[in-house]
Amino acid sequence: MTAAPAATKHKLFSPARVSAIASNTLLELVRLKVFYFMLLFALLIIGSSAFTSKFSFQEQFQVLKDVSLGAMSIFTWLLAVLATAMLLPKDIEDRTLYTILAKPVPRFEYLLGKFLGVLFLLFIAISLMSAVFVVVLYTREQTALAEASRGVPPNLLTDEIRQIRASAFNSNLLPGIVIIYLKAALCAALTLLLSTFASSWIFTIITSVVVYLIGHIQPIAREAYLASATVAPLTKIFLALVSLLIPDLTALSLVDDIVVGNAIPMLLFAKTAALGGIYVCFYFLVGYFVFSGKEL
Amino acid sequence: MNRRVVIAFGMLLVFGALRMPFERQLEAEHKAAYFHGAKFDLGLREQIGQMAFLAALSGFRSLVADGLYLHAHALWERTEWGRMKLNFDGAVALQPRCILFWDQAAWHMAFNASIAAYEDKNQPREALRIKAQREYWKLGEDYLVRGIANNPDNPTLYDRLGFLYREKFKDHCKSAETYARCAKVPGAPVYAKRFAAYELAQCPGHEREAYEQLRTFYFMGKDEHLPTLLKWLGKLQEKLEIPPEQKIAIPPASNP
Amino acid sequence: MMATPAISIQNVTKIYPIPFKREKVTAVSDLSLTVEPGQVYGLLGPNGSGKSTTMKIVLGLVSPTSGKTEIFGRDSTTVESREDVGFLPENPYFYKYLTGEETLHFYGKLCGLSGAKIRERAKELLKLVGLENAANRRLAGYSKGMLQRIGLAQAMIQEPRLLVLDEPTAGVDPAGSREIRDLILDFKKRGITVLLCSHLLEQVQEICDRIGILHRGALIREGKLEDLISIQDQTELILENATPELLSELQAVIANSSARLLDQRKPQKTLERYFLDVTGPQP
C-alpha cells in the first residue's frame, strides 16, 4: 500500500450515497417479519372470498374488494409506522449512526436514504398485496362467469356477464390503491418527524397512532373552529391546534367510495395526490430540520 | 435541540394555516364528486355502536358497512325485520354510494318483509295486515328515494323505484315519472324510455302523451316493434279513437 | 514550512443543558490540543472526563458550545472534513445481515467509491485485517475481535489520513488485541495519523507517541509519552548472562558513587507475552 494519501474532493449531493443507504435500509426492513404480513394478507383475501359463496356475485365482489383494500390500508399504515419508528433509535443504539455520519455523508442524505428505504418497502408491500388481490378477484370473476354461463338463460346472459365484469373490476381501483400508498407514506413521514425528537420509539408509535385516529376527524374540528363564534376560548384553542397540527387524513381516504364504484376524475385524483405528496415532503423536511440539530 | 423542536412546532402551525384553504377546497370537490357522503352523527353511533363507529371513523368505513350488511342478510334469514332494518340503516349511512345496499334494503322491505307482514298468522285482522304490508312498501320506497338522492348519477335505483311503484303501489303515474328520470341518467337501461311510456299509458289524463311517445318508438324501426309496445299502441289507438288513416297497423297477436 | 496539523482543537467548550433544571453539565472546558500528521495520539481519562465528547466534536457529530476544531485545516463541522477521517466507535454493531465484504462495500459507497475500486479496496483491507476467509460470512457470525477488525477495515475504506479509534481492543482476547495493535503500528508506518481513546493504559504505552489526559473536561497533562512517564532521576540497566561476580562489582561501584541502588531483580515477561507464548502456535 502507498503512504498516506492527499485530501479528497467532496460531492455536495450524491445520489449514490442516498441509494446505498436506501437499499441497505430496505434490506434491513425486509428482514423484519414484514413478509409474514403478506402471507396473512393473502390468506385473509382468500379466506374472505371462500365464505361468501352463499351471497350473490355483487355481494361477493363487494366484500372481497372491501376486505382486500381495507387490509391493504391497515397493513401499509402499520408497516409505515412500525418500520419508521425504529429506524433512527436502532441506528443510534447500535452506534451504526456514528459510523455512517463519521463518513462524508450529510445528515440530509442519511435521513433521505432511510426514508426512501421505507417508501420502497411500502411500495413492494402494496404491489405484492395488489397482485394477490387482482389474482383472487380475477379467479372469482372467472368462477362467476362460468356459473353464469351454466345457469343464466341465453337472452339474459350478455347483461349478466356485463354486470359481473362491472362488479369485479373497476378502473378507479388503481387510483384508489395509489392514494392508500400516499396515506401510508404520509404516516411514515410523520412518524419519522416524531422519531427525530422522541425520547423512545414507544412514544413515537403511540403518538403516530393517536394522530392517525384524530386525522380522520380533523375536518370536523376544522369546520367547528372556523364556524363557531360562541365556542369557549379554551375549546377554540384546542380546535385550532387540532386543525393546524393534525393532517387531514379524510382527504386521502377515498377508497371506501371507490370500492363501491364511485369514479374519481383525473384532475381530482391529481390534486389529492399532490396534497399527499406535499404532506410527505413537508413532514420529511421538518424532520430533517430537527435531526440536523440533534446532539448524537 | 429543544429550540429546533419549538421552531418545528411553529413550522407545523404555519403549514397548517397555509394548507387549510386548499384542504377545504379539496373537500368541497370531493363532496361534489360524491365522496365522503357518510354522515357521522350521534344517531349513527347509537345505531351501530361505539366500536363500529370508531372503526368507521378511522378509515374502515366500508368494512364496517359490509359487516352491517352481512349481518342484515343473516337477520333476513331469521326474519327479524326490525333489527334487519337497523343494520341496513347503518350500512347505507356509512356507504351512501353503495347501490347494492340501498337496492337490497328496499327489496327486503318492499318484497320480503311486506309479504311476511301480509301472511302473518299472528295477526288475524286482514286490515291490519294490509296496513303493515303498505308500511313496508313505504319503507322500501324511502330507501330508494334516499338512495337516489345520494346517487343521482346511477340509473339502477330509479329503475327499482319505477318497478316498485308499478308492482306494489300500482301508481303508474309515479312509475312513469321515475322511469323517465331513469332514462335521462347516463348508462340507463335501453328499456327505461319504453317503460316510461308504458306506464304513462296507464296514467289517467296522459294517454295522448303516451301515444305520441310510443309512435315515436315505433317509427324508429323494426327493432322497436316489441310485443308490449305494439300492445299498448293498439290499446291507446282504441282508447283515443285514432282515425283509421292515422292508425298504425298492429298485427293480430298484439292487438287487444 | 510547518505541516497542517491533523487535528487542531482550539479553546473548545461543550456545555450540555439538563432538561427542566437550571444547572448545566460542562463536558469539555476550554480544551486546546494539536495532533501532528503521522502521530499516534492517545486521549486518556477516567469515565466522564470528556473523551467521547471531544471525539464527537472532532468528528462533527456534536457542535461545540464555543471554540473551533479543524481536521487538516478544514472545519470539522463541515461534511467535507470527514473525507479525511475514518472512525471506529466503541463496541460498534454493524449491520449483522451483511457479510464482511458487503459491509465494506456499503461504507465504500458512502465515501464515494464505486465499482472496481470498491471491490479492489475491500479485498485489500480484508487481507490486511486478516478476514479474507470470513469475507462471505455474515457479521452475525463474527467474534468480537473479528468485529473490531472489520470495524478497522471500514474506517480505512476511503484511505483516510486520520483514524479515530475509540477503545479498539475493548473486549477482545489477547491475540486479537495484539493483532489490532500491530495494525495500528502499521498504519503509523504509512503516515496515517491515529487518535486513540483507550482505558488499557499498557497498550497506550506501547503504541502512542503523545498522550493527553482529560479530567472533568479539562486537559490536565499533555506531551510526549516518554517525557511524561520517564522517572527522570532513575536509570534501568538490563543485563544478559551477568555473572554473580559482575553483579557484586557493579554493586560496589554504585556504593562508592552518589547513586543509590534501588532494586535488583529478574525482569519479568508481561503476562500478555506469557499468555501468547503458551497459547500461540507451538514449534
Query: How confident is the model over A19-48, as pLDDT tens digits?
Result: 999 999 999 888 877 667 766 776 676 666
Pair A225, A257: CB distance under 8 Å: no
Distance from CA of A19 to the nearest CA of C (A): 9
Q: Quote the number of domains for chain A.
A: 1
* Residue A104, in any domain of the structure: yes
Query: How many residues make up chain A in this entry?
Result: 296
Q: C92–A96: do the CB atoms touch at under 8 Å?
A: yes
Q: What confidence tens digit (pLDDT) does each residue in B193-224 have?
A: 999 999 999 999 999 999 999 999 999 988 88
Q: Which domain holds residue B209?
A: 163-256
The mean predicted confidence, pLDDT, of chain B is 91
| Cβ-Cβ contacts under 8 Å for B175 (sequence gap 6 or more) | B162, B163, B165, B166, B169, B195, B199
**A246 located within any domain:** no
pLDDT at A265 > cutoff 60: yes
CB contact at 8 A, C164 and C195: yes
The answer to whether residue A247 sits within a structural domain is no
Predicted pLDDT of residue C236:
81
Q: Which residues contact B75 (CB under 8 A, 6 or more apart)?
A: B81, B83, B84, B87
Position of cell 452506534?
A: A95
Which chain B residues are Cβ-neighbours of A282 within 8 angstroms? 15
- Beta-bridged to residue C223, according to DSSP, are C211
Nearest CA in chain B to A217: B57
What is the predicted ipTM?
Answer: 0.86
Question: Which value, to the nearest 10 degrees, does the dihedral of the CA atoms of residues A121, A127, A132, A137 take?
Answer: 150
Secondary structure tally for chain B: helices H, strands E: 13, 0
Q: How far is CA C169 from CA A270, B35, C196, C202, in A?
A: 57, 64, 11, 12
Sign of CA dihedral B38, B40, B44, B49: positive
Full domain range(s) for residue A283: 15-216+253-292
Beta bridge partners of C85: C162
Contact C87 A4 (CB under 8 A): no
> pLDDT tens digit string along C166-209?
988 888 888 888 888 888 999 999 999 999 998 788 788 888 88
Question: Is the CB of residue C88 less than 8 Å from the CB of residue C152?
Answer: yes
Measured between CB atoms, does A267 come within 8 Å of chain C?
no
Segment C99-109 shows an average pLDDT of 95
Neighbours of C252 (CB within 10 A): 10
Question: Which residues are CB-contacts of C159 (< 8 A; sequence separation ≥ 6)?
Answer: A4, A5, C121
- For range C230-248, the mean pLDDT: 84
Q: DSSP per residue over chain A, as a string? A: --SPPPP----SS-HHHHHHHHHHHHHHHHTSTHHHHHHHHHHHHHHHHHHGGGS-HHHHHHHHHHHHHHHHHHHHHHHHHHHHHTHHHHHHHTTHHHHHHTSS--HHHHHHHHHHHHHHHHHHHHHHHHHHHHHHHHHHHHHHHHHHHHHS-HHHHHHHHHHHHHHH--TTHHHHHHHHHHHHHHHHHHHHHHHHH-SSHHHHHHHHHHHHHHHTTHHHHHHHHHH-SSS-HHHHHHHHHHHHHS--GGGG--HHHHTTT----HHHHHHHHHHHHHHHHHHHHHHHHHHHT---
Give a yes or no: residue B230 inside a domain. Answer: yes
| Residue A5 within a domain | no
Residue A7 lies in a domain: no
Contact A193, A290 (CB under 8 A): yes
Percentage of residues in chain C having pLDDT higher than 70: 98
CB-CB neighbors (< 8 A) of A102 in chain C: 59, 61, 82, 85-87, 89, 164
Tally the domains of chain B.
1
Furthest C-alpha separation in chain A: 89
Looking from the CA of C248 toward its CB, the CA atoms found within 13 Å total 3
Q: Which CATH number fits domain C7-229: 2.40.50.140, 3.40.50.300, 3.30.465.10, 1.20.120.1200?
A: 3.40.50.300
Answer yes or no: is A1 within a domain: no
Give the Å distances, CA to CA, from C16 to A197, B7, C27, C150.
16, 20, 7, 33
Q: What is the percent of chain B with per-residue pLDDT over 90, rounded to a whole number?
A: 71
Is C272 buried (19+), middle (13-18) or exposed (0-12) by CB count in 10 A? Answer: middle
What is residue B151's predicted lDDT score, i.e. its pLDDT? 93
Instruction: With a cut of 80, say whether residue C152 has pLDDT above it.
Output: yes
Cβ <8 Å between B58 and A63: no
- What is the DSSP secondary structure assignment for residue B157, as one 8-state letter? H
The answer to whether residue B18 is domain-embedded is: no
Can you tell me the mean pLDDT for C24-39?
91
- For residue B168, tell me if it sits in a domain: yes
Per-residue pLDDT at A34: 63
Q: Does C212 touch chain A (CB under 8 A)?
A: no
Across A125-129, A241-245, B163-167, least confident range? A125-129
Say yes or no for a CB contact (<8 Å) between A70 and B60.
Answer: yes
Cell triple for residue B217? 318508438
- Set of cell numbers at residue C12: 473548545
B41 shares contact with chain A (CB less than 8 Å): no
Residue listed under C-alpha cell 471491490 = C119
**Alpha carbon distance A293, C61 (integer Å):** 10
The domain locations on chain C are 7-229, 244-279
Residues 169-198 of C with CB under 8 A from A: 190-193
Nearest to A254 by CA among A269, A242, A267, A243: A269
**Whole-prediction pTM:** 0.85
